Amino acid sequence: MDKVDHALGRPTEDGRTTTRPGRMNRVIYLGPLTESGRVQIAARILEQHLDLQAQVVTDGDGETAAHFQERCSRMALERSF
């Protein structure tokens, strides 16, 4: 929350809400994606490319869901051409 522009609000004393509700109501930490989460995303995005799925899941260790999804999407798009 400290990295967010002050115009979006500052955390209240309880740390659970902000001074500008509606702009940013909560801060939720989303850590790295679990292996099972990576498997599910890869299976959906790369369903036509079974040969890529296992390696992309292994390589994605430590990535956030957004980064992993973007990388899978890019791989699927590259394979489509």
Tokens read off for 10? 């500052």
The pLDDT score that the predictor gives to residue 25 is: 60
What CA dihedral angle connects 45, 48, 54 and 58, to 10 degrees? -30
Average pLDDT, the chain: 86
Q: Look-up: residue for tokens 């509700």?
A: 21
Q: What is the pLDDT of residues 15-52, one digit of tens each?
A: 777 777 666 666 677 889 999 999 999 999 999 999 99
